Amino acid sequence: MVEAEAHDQIAYFSPEFGIAAEVAQYSGGLGILAGDHLKSASDLGVPLLGIGLLYRQGFFRQGIDDGGQTERYETITPSEIGAVDTGLQVAVPVDGEIVAVRIWQQMVGATPLYLLDTDLAENSVRARAITDRLYSGDRRHRLDQELILGVGGVRALRALDIDPKVFHLNEGHACFLLLELLGEYLDAGLDLESATTKVRDQTLFTTHTPVPAGIDRFERSLAGPEMAPWAKRLGVTLETLLDWAWLPTDAASKPFNTAALAFELCGRANGVSQLHATVSRELFGALERAQSLQGITNGIHARTWVAPRIQAIYDDTLGQGWENGDANAWSLVGDIDRDRFEGARSTGRSELVDMVRATTGTQLDPQKCVIGFARRFATYKRAALLLRDKPGLQAAFDAGAQFVFAGKAHPADTDGKAVLAELVAFAGSAKSRNQLVIVPDYDIAVAQVMYAGCDVWLNNPIRPREASGTSGEKAALSGGLNCSIEDGWWADFFVDGIGWSIPTSDATDTTVRDDAEAVAMNSLITNQVMSLYGTDQWWEMVQRMLAHLGPRVTAGRMVSEYESRHYLPIREH
């Protein structure tokens, strides 16, 4: 990497960061990706810093009972997550109140992460609760949080005497930083056109959603009063400012669309896989500035997600650089000792079996194939798809397949909770034959055990609604084979002989489509996955998979792409 001066820093804004299991400041893939981005920037010496919020109650802890999911929140203190008070505060106008915001610092390797906190005695009760928990579902609360993140984030950097050359928005939640930057340039004497050019010259927007429902929108009746002071500061009408955040394909009420504002004022944009970039250009087809969007496929921080015993094998056999996707290192996969590798995998499977027994009371067989599925329980991810073909699932059971599920539904997502409840009911029935279980309270720690212990990773979303996904990448680097619909990262990197591609249906009727894909998936598991398990051909497939995916799925490769394609060109502009 090219060394950069301090003023060449990159400020990476995200509403959540998944750093470690003990730091409950994340809900799912967006936060895990952000945490891996910071860690890999540290590894590579990229001069990046993070800006986020400090949630005093984090995301919820999950329980699972006969009715499905239960939720509870636990209050944390900043010291528990390694955050140190910088002694600095900034002020942000929110809902007619000047809100005081404390700045905390948490180190992620060599990368500083600054977390903003409104739980100060001088604030009103309402303002103190702005940063209480992640994704409450209340739209007023979400808008307040995004104002603190964007506006407060820029002001925090100024208070810290940091002047980044690049501002990277990890999703549209941070879009209000763009208005603050515009305001700064106007205050410095530039006209609006020149200020807009300056802002575009230093900003990058990463979009993560391939579906309209995943975009943050606020009704104009809610966003308008908050934007009125900004319109005055920027010297434009309120209608003009609100129209910057208008996606013409939205409802007739013209809601304030955070992604539309990001596309309007950011000079660069990218999706998180090649397929997702194509889908995003269509999704935002009404926005001319979105049509130049390209894809950078997400990757994972290998030292976080690969079990230490597997890492030791890679260190001994592949040498330096494997964790960042070095192709020369991964070319040595054929030298990996099979007995040692399979022994490490067997130990991981046994530890997974122990965790399942401790958390669910179910005893799996550590000698048989374990198929894992763990992710957010959004309906498009179709966690319960295999239940649509009960005869096929029973045939997979007969072949020896064991399934371990984990994941959380958003507290306000009743449909996602219903999917989880359906799986819970089946797992508790005699039909599951103790070969399908659901591990509660999915988090980084549970995920790490699953990646180390699952032989196969299952992913069956509605194509093309999985923007990228990274769970299958983590399983792959841990030695597990993927069985997935070609969506997200798997669509980018799958080739024959490194895992399995689940056939998709062309049916326009969603019931017919889901039924057909359930049958195809269960048949694939029974007749191909299970027939190969434990054979020499399985080991050969693992070797091919590692050689092919090793150079491609690391966050080191991902951050290097961001550096060469975006960060360096912006800094050198």
Quick check: helix, strand or coil at residue 263?
Answer: helix
pLDDT tens, position by position, 224-237: 999 999 999 999 99
pLDDT band at 212 (very low <50, low <70, confident <90, very high): confident
Is the domain of 282 the same as that of 323? no
Local structure of residue 102 (DSSP, 8 states): E
Q: How confident is the model at residue 28 (pLDDT cuts 50, 70, 90)?
A: confident
Adjacent-strand bridge partners of 114: 51, 105
Q: Please check whether residue 467 lies inside any domain of the structure.
A: yes
How many domains, the chain?
Answer: 2
Residues 259-291: pLDDT tens digits? 999 999 999 999 999 999 999 999 999 999 999
Question: Does some domain include residue 201?
Answer: yes
Rounded CA separation 204/31 (Å): 18
Are residues 536 and 398 part of one domain? yes
Same domain (yes/no): 16, 58: yes
Q: Is 103 helix (H, G, I), strand (E, B) or coil?
A: strand
Q: What pLDDT does residue 96 have? A: 94
pLDDT band (50, 70, 90) for residue 213: confident
DSSP H or E segment with residue 442: none
The answer to whether residue 477 sits within a structural domain is yes
* In a domain? residue 116: yes
Q: Is the four-CA dihedral 138, 442, 131, 269 of positive or negative sign?
A: negative
465/514 same-domain check: yes
Report the distance separating Cα 75 and Cα 61, nearest Å.
Answer: 11
Instruction: Tell me, yes or no, whether 1 lies in a domain.
Output: no
pTM for this structure? 0.97
How high is the mean pLDDT of the chain? 96
Burial of residue 337 (number of CB atoms within 10 Å: 0-12, 13-18, 19+): exposed
**Within this chain, do residues 265 and 309 fall inside the same structural domain, yes or no?**
no
SS3 393: helix
Domain that holds residue 497: 302-553
Contact (CB, 8 A) for 496 and 540: no
Does pLDDT of 372 surpass 70? yes
pLDDT in tens, 68-77: 999 999 999 9
132 and 256 part of one domain? yes
Residues 6+ apart with CB under 8 A from 459: 373, 375, 381, 466, 469, 471, 472, 482, 483, 484, 485, 487, 490
- Check whether residue 87 and residue 197 sit in a common domain: yes
406 and 272: one domain? no
Q: Quick one: 393 and 258 in the same domain?
A: no
Q: Within a domain: residue 94?
A: yes
Is 169 in the same domain as 270?
yes
pLDDT over threshold 50, residue 386: yes
User: Do 198 and 114 have their domain in common?
Assistant: yes
Q: What is the CATH number of the domain that holds 50?
A: 3.40.50.2000
Q: What is the mean pLDDT of residues 418-436?
A: 97
Whether residue 436 is contained in a domain is answered as yes
Which pLDDT does position 5 carry in this prediction?
52
Q: Note whether 189 and 110 are same-domain residues.
A: yes
Specify the pLDDT at position 545.
Answer: 98
Kindly state whether residue 253 falls inside one of the protein's structural domains. Answer: yes
Tens of pLDDT, residues 34-59: 999 999 999 999 999 999 999 999 99
